[in-house]
Every structure is written in C-alpha cells, then in structure tokens.
Amino acid sequence: MKIILFGPPGSGKGTQAELLKEKEGFLHFSTGDFFRQEIAKETSLGKKVQYYLEKGLLVPDEIVIEIVENFLKENYNKKIVFDGYPRTLPQAFSLDQFLLQRNEKINFCFLIELSEEEIIKRLTSRRVCKNCGAIYNLNFKKPKIEGLCDLCNSELIQRDDDKEEVIKERINIYYKDTLPLIDYYEKKNNLYRIKGDLGKDYVYSEIIKKIKNYGNLY
C-alpha cells in the first residue's frame, strides 16, 4: 500500500502521515526529513543536496528521484505514505514507472482541501519557540502561559513565513505547483478529496475508511 498526501500549507499532511505511522505502521517518507538525514550522515547524496539547499535552490528532479528510488528499493512492498512528494510531474511519472517495474503502485492520493480563510487562520495563529523550536497554535495548542514555551520557558514568536502576506504567496505557489499533479492523479482515478476544514480527526477517519476498504491487499 502506497499513498500520497497533498494539501496546502496548514492542512496537516505531516500530522496525518505521523498518525498513519503510529497507528498503522506506515513508513513516513518526507523529502525534507530525508534530505536532513542524508546531510547529517554526510553521504554523497547528502553532499549534493546540501549544495543546492545552501544556495537556496530547489533540489533537481533527478536527485530527488534517485533518493526516492533508493528508499523504495530498501523498502520493497512496505506500506508507505509520501508527504511532500511528488512535487513535479516528472517526479510523478518516474515514481509510477519505478513502482510499475516492481509490481507496486500508488493506491491512493488524498487531497486535503482547505479554504484560503482557514489556511490563513491556522497559519497566522502558529507560534514557535525562539529557543527550542516547539510549535504552538493559538487556536488549538495554546501554551500554558501566554507567550512562553511550555518546555523551556522561552519567548514564542511568529515566523516571518507565517505572516498573512507571505502565507497568501505560499498558497499561490502551492496551487501553481500542485494543480498539474492533482490533474494527473485525478485522470488516473485515484485521487480522493477530503474536507480539511472539518479537522484532523475527520481527515484521518476518511483516509482510514478508504484504505481499509481496499480489502486484502492492504
């Protein structure tokens, strides 16, 4: 079973992937996490990735594709949830091709939809600890003492990329990048839309309903 999660910033893709990992034993593949691991291990791949990230450039498709294929080789036939991948059409094509050769496939793509209003509400209420990086949310994960981190008592700040003008720009970029992918998976008939505004428990229950209905292949 392989699934892909799509959703705008603030849709909680990462949270859903973590729930699938904890409760259902999925491997959570996030390109960002993988980049950080490879860099920390100082592998040759890690060095290539670091070169692009340090320059503020996108890591080219062929490198990301290589990373994902290595991961899939090491994890044949396992349950995997992709979070933040694929990001481009060439990545999506090559993922399908690679899986096909191995008699595997993407079983489901879930698109967590969120209104622009809700994205802005969620992201502008995010606060981050200046010291330890712990994340809070003024709507649903408030710190015990206003403005201070529960873990280390340091000041909580709003990141520049959580400010409204920046969020609007991030939403535009997200739609521009993601719409071709949505279209691609929709044509393959394995895209399911979930109303993210209804909250994380609802989103998770919808995902589970679909994958459990898949039958013995699951």
Residues that are catalytic: 13, 87, 126, 159, 170
Choose, by CB under 5 A, the member of 89, 135, 152, 173 that binds Zn ion. Answer: 152
b/e code 18-54 from CB counts within 10 Å (16+ = b) = bbbeeeeebbbbbbeebbeebbeeeeebbebbbeeee
The first and second tokens of residue 24, run together, are 């259902």
CB of 81 to Zn ion, least distance (A): 28
95 binds Zn ion (CB under 5 A): no
Is 151 near Zn ion (CB under 5 A)? yes
Minimum distance, C-beta of residue 129 to Zn ion, in the bound complex (Å): 3
- Looking at beta carbons only, is 151 or 198 nearer to Zn ion? 151
Q: Taking CB under 5 A as the criterion, which residues in 112-141 touch Zn ion?
A: 129, 131-132, 134
- Given the complex with Zn ion, which of 100 and 151 has the nearer CB atom? 151
Beta carbon of residue 127, minimum distance to Zn ion (angstroms, whole number):
11
CB of 106 or CB of 129, closer to Zn ion: 129
In this structure, what token pair is assigned to residue 149?
A: 């981190």
Closest CA to 34 of 48, 13, 19, 24: 48
Q: How many C-beta atoms surround the C-beta of residue 181 within 10 A?
A: 20
How many residues touch Zn ion under the rule CB under 5 A: the total is: 8
The reply on whether position 149 binds Zn ion by CB under 5 A is yes
Query: Which CB atom, from 97 or from 153, has the smaller least distance to Zn ion?
Result: 153
**Residue pair 76/102 in contact by the 8 Å Cβ criterion:** yes
Q: Are 81 and 17 in contact (CB under 8 A)?
A: yes
Closest-CA residue to 84 (of 142, 6, 12): 6
Across the beta sheet with 135-137, the strand order is 135-137, 126-129, 156-157
- Binding stretches for Zn ion (CB under 5 A): 129, 131-132, 134, 149, 151-152, 154
